[in-house]
Amino acid sequence: MKLRIKLALFNLLSKLVFTLLFLVFMPYLIDRINLIQVDNDLIQKREQVITLISKVGIEPFITSDTGNVFGSYNILKEEFISLERIDLKEDANYIEVSQRSIEGEDIDYRVLNYSFKVDGNTYLLEIGKSLSSILHTEKNIKKVMLAFLVFIILITFLTDLQYTRRLLRPLDLITKKLKGISNPSTFDKAPVITTTSDFHHLDNALIELLAHIDQLFQKEKDITVNISHELLTPISVLRSKLENILIQKEIEPEISTKIEESLKTLHRLQGLVNSLLLIARIESRQYLREESFYVEEVLHEIISEINPIAEDAGILLKEEVAKDFQFDGANRSLIFSMFYNVVNNAVKNTPQGGKVLVKSFNRNNNFVVTISDTGRGMTEDQKDTLFSRFRTKLETNGNNTGIGLAISKSIADFHGIEISVNTIIKKGTTFSFVFPENS
């Protein structure tokens, strides 16, 4: 999972936890707040009533006609005010919840009780607010708060996501740079632009590290190239000397056979040095890659070259190649060698009466070439070391240095072609070459 997603998920999760906590405590909190609000309201109303009485006196409310009681409520019975002349031993000033009966209906109210004296008489003022109306307000507040909460979480989650994306963009770029390289020399050395110093350090460290690795690789390749050159000159001398001896007319047949054997050995040495040189050159990209050609033509050419050998060995070499696949930006003679080595190998490893099939087709957006034989197949171990330069377990005749497939592999890498191998022991082997999509 990407770091960005992980961070955003963590943020979301932590917010959800806080929200849950809040939801647990919210009813209690809102109750408290609401109660305080209601009580303040009642006290305010009490002040208003007291102010009114001190202005107009008690008479407009209470006379002997009204039986010393005044009462008023609104039609939905949400609130009421009552005034009563009573005898009280103690002053009353408190708020309580009590049930009142209004027009035969029992309703729970929060009631403020307040006693005061006018003209030597004690009056009790009661101001009530029905609990159901209080609960209703509470419910509304809860709804609004919940909606607001959800909204906030959503908004902050989205902004978090956006922000972390922006914040982590340099890291993404660095990851992409690393993913894209098959070779240290192809690493993009342009620094990633960022204001985050950690990423800056990371990027710099990577650039330096890869430059260093690249240098080492280059050195190793240079050494290979130089050693190869140094080896080729003495081989050259030796070869000319032996060849000059071989063409002498009066030479004994026994000796000429020995000379020929020496030349053969020398030729193997030469082949080995040249192969190493070839791989080193391909890997240090000394070959041009600017030709365009039809792959079917190359395959056809290879097949017609190897076919006489296959026929002689009693092997059916068959081609089923798709037409009109043009490979651009490639090196034809390298691609020729790449396929040639594999086809030749397949023919060599197939017993008499067997079959080698060279096939090409389009799969999804890729052009694919497969070379299958009905040979002896390989074990997993053999398959794993197939493309290594010098295989330890060689099952070939002395002529093959086992480097041919390593050459094919480096040519494939050079052209961005993917090679895969499917093999079943005693049944056969299939090599697949998947060409890059935009070729």
Residues that bind another protein (CB under 8 A): 229, 232-233, 235-237, 239-241, 243-244, 246-247, 253, 256-257, 260, 263-264, 267-268, 270-272, 274-275, 277-278, 281, 286-288, 304-305, 308-309, 312-313, 333, 337, 340-341, 344-345, 348, 399-401, 403-404, 407
Q: How far is the CB of 205 from another protein (least distance, A)?
A: 35
Distance CA 190, CA 204 (A): 10
Distance CA 53, CA 353 (A): 124
Residue 332 CB partners (closer than 8 Å, separation 6+): 291, 293, 298
Considering beta carbons, is residue 57 or 314 the nearer one to another protein?
A: 314
Considering beta carbons, is residue 263 or 357 the nearer one to another protein?
A: 263
Considering beta carbons, is residue 107 or 279 the nearer one to another protein?
A: 279
Displacement of CA 135 from its chain's centroid (Å): 50
Considering beta carbons, is residue 115 or 256 the nearer one to another protein?
A: 256
Residue 107 CB partners (closer than 8 Å, separation 6+): 77, 99, 100, 101, 130, 131, 132
Please classify residue 213 by burial: count the beta carbons closer than 10 Å to its beta carbon, then call 0-12 exposed, 13-18 middle and 19+ buried. Answer: middle
Q: How far is the CB of 407 from another protein (least distance, A)?
A: 7
Q: How far is the CB of 238 from another protein (least distance, A)?
A: 8
- Phi and psi dihedrals of 60, rounded to 5? -55, -20
Beta bridge partners of 93: 114
Q: How far is the CB of 399 from another protein (least distance, A)?
A: 5
Q: How far is the CB of 271 from another protein (least distance, A)?
A: 3
Considering beta carbons, is residue 92 or 246 the nearer one to another protein?
A: 246
Q: How far is the CB of 354 from another protein (least distance, A)?
A: 16
Considering beta carbons, is residue 344 or 360 the nearer one to another protein?
A: 344
Within 10 Å of residue 270's Cβ, how many Cβ atoms? 17
Distance CA 311, CA 305 (A): 11
End-to-end Cα separation, the chain, in angstroms? 32
Q: How far is the CB of 231 from another protein (least distance, A)?
A: 9
Considering beta carbons, is residue 136 or 229 the nearer one to another protein?
A: 229
The amino acid at 165: R
